[in-house]
Amino acid sequence: MAFYQSVPMPLKRNTLIFILSLLIAAFTCLSFFIAQHPILGFDIKTSLFIQQYHADWLDKLMLAISFFGELPYSLLSVVIVAIIFYYQKYKREGIFISTVLLSGLIILGIKNVINRPRPTAFYVRLVEVNRFQSYPSGHVLSYTLFFGFLIILMNTLKDLPKLTKNIVTYLSAFLMITIAPSRIYLGAHWFTDTVGGFLLGLICLFPLCYFYFKKKKD
């Protein structure tokens, strides 16, 4: 936070706007490209590379990593964590965490517009079968947004126990890093689906953090 406070406000604002603009441009270009090219040779090769080694224990591990992104558990996870923060004297944080649920509407809208089909058994090994469209990955979006915000909170709230901060930070980082490979391994998504989900997650994280820190400063 000391570094954050030492940087001139216009510079910080301009830098953040520039980064956000790049993320939006990258996501928009990727989305248009995927809409025109739903099946990519690169995606198929990436999936086959990740799936070349598989085992029952690895299937279970990858399913466990994806667990928090499955309905209704994804909704329950956000609600439970928001309630814990709210009743542990972090009401603002609890309210902001609950707004993560709005990302579900965003992802469904974009999925319907792009309308990319899921990977099929013709191309990859299917461990998990899903109902909705493939692009972008809702799991990667929700993990990036939810666990990313938790990491930011752990590094912002000074009166939390250090052990709690470390556990939440490392667990959140682990899930954020492993969710994309797990979705590809399970045959639930293409690589470009996960890239789109990650970009969209970062895009959604920007306004969430902006209003959180702006309101806190005011």
* Residue-level pLDDT at 11: 52
Q: What is the rounded average pLDDT for all residues in the chain?
A: 91
| Residue 134: φ, ψ to 5° | -90, -40
* Structural tokens at position 190: 């293409």
* Residue-level pLDDT at 26: 98
pLDDT above 80: residue 215: no
Tokens 């469209």 belong to residue: 133
* Residue-level pLDDT at 216: 63
Beta-carbon contacts of residue 183 (< 8 Å; ≥ 6 apart): 66, 137, 139, 140, 189, 193, 194
Beta-carbon contacts of residue 114 (< 8 Å; ≥ 6 apart): 31, 34, 35, 133, 135, 136
* Structural tokens at position 24: 């939006």
| pTM of the full structure | 0.90
> For residue range 87-142, what is the model confidence (pLDDT) as tens digits?
988 999 999 999 999 998 999 999 999 999 999 999 999 998 887 899 999 999 99
Q: Quick one: pLDDT band at residue 3, thresholds 50, 70, 90?
A: very low
* Residue-level pLDDT at 130: 81
CA dihedral (152, 106, 64, 62) positive or negative: negative
